[in-house]
Amino acid sequence: MSEQDMSDQNTGDQDTSEQAANDQSIPRQESNRTATGRVVSSAMDKTVTVLVERRVKHPLYGKFMRRSSKLHAHDGNNECNAGDLVRVEQCRPLSKTKCWRLVEVVEKAR
């Protein structure tokens, strides 16, 4: 190989290392999924069950239907009660079924 080819390869390596450095500077929290829902159960210690509802359009008939999912979220301070409206964020797996964490209590139950 000629010296010019070698120098081209070296500059290519530097470009990839610069891209990797830029990728590391991106905050991880912005890429996490968030969801808003109602707390259904707070009987477990430091864990709440959140019911998240969404509206989905039926592909053939066009009617909007309600679909729901139950998520287990980490509530480290045990600040939520049943009926609270909360915002949760996806995180690393904390247990077999719990991979969401509480971000904020949007509205307390009456």
Is 20 a member of any domain?
no
Is 19 a member of any domain?
no
Exposed, middle or buried: residue 19 (CB in 10 Å: 0-12, 13-18, 19+)? Answer: exposed
Is 22 a member of any domain?
no
Do the Cβ atoms of 72 and 42 come closer than 8 Å?
Answer: no
Q: pLDDT (tens digit, 0 to 9) for every residue of the chain, 110 residues total?
A: 555 555 555 555 554 444 444 433 333 455 689 999 999 999 999 999 999 999 999 999 999 999 999 999 999 999 999 999 999 999 999 999 999 999 999 999 88
Is 8 a member of any domain?
no
CATH code of the domain in which 51 resides: 2.40.50.140
pLDDT of residue 32: 86
pLDDT of residue 90: 96
pLDDT of residue 25: 35
Number of domains in the chain: 1
pLDDT of residue 14: 52
Is 10 a member of any domain?
no
Is 66 a member of any domain?
yes
pLDDT of residue 26: 30
pLDDT of residue 23: 38
Is 56 a member of any domain?
yes
Exposed, middle or buried: residue 103 (CB in 10 Å: 0-12, 13-18, 19+)? Answer: middle
pLDDT of residue 30: 59
pLDDT of residue 1: 54
Is 97 a member of any domain?
yes
Do the Cβ atoms of 95 and 73 come closer than 8 Å?
Answer: no
pLDDT of residue 18: 47
Domain that holds residue 44: 29-107
